Structure 1
C-alpha cells in the first residue's frame, strides 16, 4: 500500500495544529555556548572596569 506525501504534522490532534509544520529542534549546545561566552565577556569587562576605577 502506498502512502501519499504528507506535508503536515500527523502527531498533532487539533485540525489547526495539523496544518503547521512539525517543530524544529533547536541546537541547544550552540545556544548554551553563546550564553556562557556572553557571561564571561560581561564579567571580564565589569571586573576590568571596576579594578581600573579603584586603582
Structure 2
C-alpha cells in the first residue's frame, strides 16, 4: 500500500474531507436526469384531482 506524501488536501475545507485521500475526493460526475417521467406526473395530477373532487363532494 502506498500513501501520498501529503496527507491533507488543501482543496477540502472541512476537517473530515481534509483527512481523506485525494483520490477519495475525486468523483465521477454523471449528467443529472429528471427522476419522474411524464406518466408519473400525469398519474399524480389525476389522483390529486380525484381526491380534490371527492373531498369537495363531501364538503358540499
Rg: which structure is higher?
2
Structure with the higher fraction of residues in helix conformation: 1
Q: Where on the TM-score scale, by shorter chain, does this alignment land: which range?
A: 0.3 to 0.5
TM-score, structure 1 as length reference: 0.45
